A and B are shown apart, each in its own frame.
Chain A
């Protein structure tokens, strides 16, 4: 996914869009969702790395991220527009579209975490 400053503004002087701050980016050791804002807090506890998440947890994380967004629309040149409800179903069912969406979210999270790390 392209890493680029969005037109919706910046957060804390970074390239991170504000709406990303309260979206989950991983899980803690107890299996609770952890948002980007929590990861950025000083002294936050340990969280699971993306690489350590299995396919089911990645799909679960993707669903939670999509559910948390008031507006979610993804487009495919060939597949049309996938709205929020369909996106969630596709990810849960791990269809081809669902796998693509999961991969996109993983890349986005990775970029966000790298952005945070670079601060």
Chain B
């Protein structure tokens, strides 16, 4: 999970860990890329508005990395702009979730997506 807000990361981490998902955190895009190169994750959840490297650039860069061509990348953002959503699609995002998320539904979707990734690999 890549988000500059420790509050937001912590909220998501608690919800995901309760569902048995192991979560790694990064506070912005560059750190997220570094982590993604250390270990291949089943799913990436990212904010858009972050310092140093924002979420859109992070997604574009991440997609260039081996093992991340097909990885689900969910954007979790408060930005409700349709222009930004289109930019997210072009960058390679898989889903766009408006904060605050419906946590049970989002966690369920992540559990299914990660399970399906593990099954196919």
Q: Is chain B a partner of chain A in the same complex?
A: no
List chain A positions with a Cβ less than 8 A from chain B: none
List chain B positions with a Cβ less than 8 A from chain A: none
